[in-house]
Structure 1
Amino acid sequence: MSEDAHELSVTCPIAASPATCWTVWRDRKGEWFCPKPWRAEVIEEDMRPGGRSAVRMFGPDGEDSGPMEGVFLEVVPHERIVTTDAYAVGWVPQTPFLTAIWSFAPEGEGTRFTATARHWDAGAKARHLEMGFHPGWDAMMAQFKVLCEAAAVG
């Protein structure tokens, strides 16, 4: 099995520094985390290993995703954030779906942003594809790029 056999990812160049992208990721998640017209509400983001990551998404017709609960596994400012839903805060195991890896790599005068969903098995990866991984995460990435580039010039 290759290392990325259970991974799905999106990537793009952003005309903003890794520091700017990091700040947008951390402070403006409600504006980019899910495709519009859906909206995200951050419940808690305790950005340290073991800290709680909890976000809820709301749809235009009253849909409510319920809280997406997890923990931060790794936080390297301006470089990388890793979260997982395999644990709730306090390292309480729960049924996992994915580990998310967000990376901000210097590229020229900007940043190469990559968002990766690492699934526990091929079935979870297939379910995520069927749920619309690419339309959803592609839209998320495009929204994130716009916010980062506007922050870089504003």
Structure 2
Amino acid sequence: MNPDLDLTLQRVIRAPRATVWRAWTDPSRFAKWWIPAPTVCRVDRLEARPGGALLTRMSDDGAAFVPHMDAIFLVADDLERLVFTNAVDSAWRPATPQPVAMTAEITFADHPDGTDYRILVRHGDPAARARHEHLGFLDGWGTVTSQLAKEVEQ
């Protein structure tokens, strides 16, 4: 972790690691928590494997959907780690995503109370990190992490 380039979030989710992993890798489950409510998520592709696509859209009214995330998975270590980037799109083309290019690493580990869930988001330069933080990294990723926890802790 480089504090000049990276942002992090950690939480214990009170659910088994396999359940949290499924919420990340099953498109119908992923759509329930991936975007802060009340915005609605539609998953066009979620292929949790190296080179697989992560393609989502969002809607404020549930009818008109606009692009949200167009990324690829770089790593998918079953039940342990997912890494994806939006700097390359789902068609394997270099991208200039808005609002910021990033590589996100999600790790899942056993914890006595459930799953030790950690997010590390890497940026290419300090300005991109600062922009992501200013735009609400902790609020956005924190909200979807809370939504994920609510979904799997039931």
State the TM-score, normalized to the length of structure 2: 0.86
Q: Determine the C-alpha separation between the residues in 1 that align with 2:136 and 2:57.
A: 18
When residues 16 and 61 of structure 1 are mapped into structure 2, their CA distance, relative to the original with a 3 A threshold, is closer
Contact 1:11 1:141 in 2 (8 A): no
When residues 99 and 39 of structure 1 are mapped into structure 2, their CA distance, relative to the original with a 3 A threshold, is same
When residues 45 and 18 of structure 1 are mapped into structure 2, their CA distance, relative to the original with a 3 A threshold, is same
Contact 1:50 1:90 in 2 (8 A): no
Aligned residue identity for 1:53: L
Matched-pair identity in %: 34
Q: Determine the C-alpha separation between the residues in 1 that align with 2:62 and 2:136.
A: 18
Counterpart position of 1:142? 146
Q: How does 1:80-95 map to 2 (within 5 A)?
A: 80-95=81-96
- 1:94-125 C-alpha deviation (Å, 9 max, x unpaired): 22510111111111141111122211111111
- 1:16-51 C-alpha deviation (Å, 9 max, x unpaired): 111111011222111111111112111101221111
1:146 to partner: Cα distance: 1.2
1:103 aligns with 2:107: yes
Task: Note the residue ranges of structure 1 that are not aligned, 5 or more in a row.
Answer: none
Query: C-alpha root-mean-square deviation of aligned residues, in Å?
Result: 2.1
State how many pairs are aligned.
Answer: 149
Counterpart position of 1:8? 7
* More off after superposition, 64-73 vs 106-115: 64-73
Counterpart position of 1:76? 77
Q: How does 1:1-154 map to 2 (within 5 A)?
A: 3-27=2-26, 28-60=29-61, 65-95=66-96, 97-150=101-154
Q: Determine the C-alpha separation between the residues in 2 that align with 1:60 and 1:131.
A: 23
Secondary structure of the corresponding residue to residue 32 of structure 1: coil
Q: Determine the C-alpha separation between the residues in 1 that align with 2:66 and 2:12.
A: 30
State the TM-score, normalized to the length of structure 1: 0.86
Aligned residue identity for 1:137: W
Q: Determine the C-alpha separation between the residues in 1 that align with 2:2 and 2:35.
A: 27
Secondary structure of the corresponding residue to residue 92 of structure 1: coil
Task: Note the residue ranges of structure 2 that are not aligned, 5 or more in a row.
Answer: none
